[in-house]
Amino acid sequence: MTTVNDPELHAKVKKTTEKISENMHIIANEPSLAFYRIQEHVRKVIPLIVDRRAEVYQLQQDLQGKCYDMEYAIQAVKDIEAADDSLRNVQEALKNAIFLKQQLKYMESRRPKKDANSSVYKRLSAHITLDLPDLPDISGVVRETTNRVEHMMSQARSSSSGNGVGPAELQRSYTTLH
């Protein structure tokens, strides 16, 4: 092997080996620097993420409770609507009972009085008058209430899908058990 004593070549080789050594050092330490930055970022962000997660969990529970309340209210309104026929039947029965009572009273007034010592019931019922007012038809009110509840529910759904909290935020009912 022959050795060449070229100082210029020797300087170029030395400069090249220093550059290669420096690049190897940077490449070797680059992953650890990246992991250090990631660790630093995680330490700063984790407490905020934990707080947000707890807040989202609480909001989810509140929203679920409000949904249960809305479903309960809608079912109650539908039950009232379904009771419309029963209430109409009760109203008709009351009208018939009042009519029959008036007929009995009229017939008793036309009959000649036989005995002054009639029964206590007859003497008492002769003084009782039962004038019940006509019950209004409630189907319109029930329909209007149903429409209002469904409108409020659609507003709540659209505001919850938009930005999370809307102007039509509903209050939780304390009548239900959750």
Identity at 3, one-letter amino acid code = T
| Tokens at 118, concatenated | 């009639």
Give the DSSP per-residue string, 29-78: HHHHHHHHHHHHHHHHHHHHHHHHHHHHHHHHHHHHHHHHHHHHHHHHHH
Average pLDDT over residues 105-111: 86
Average pLDDT over residues 89-111: 90
Q: Give the model confidence (pLDDT) of 35-81 as tens digits.
A: 888 899 999 999 999 999 999 999 999 999 999 999 999 999 998 88
Which pLDDT value is given to residue 160? 64
Quick one: pLDDT band at residue 99, thresholds 50, 70, 90? very high
Neighbours of 142 (CB within 10 A): 19
Quick one: pLDDT band at residue 149, thresholds 50, 70, 90? confident
Which pLDDT value is given to residue 75? 93
Round to whole Å and give the CA distance between 81 and 28: 77
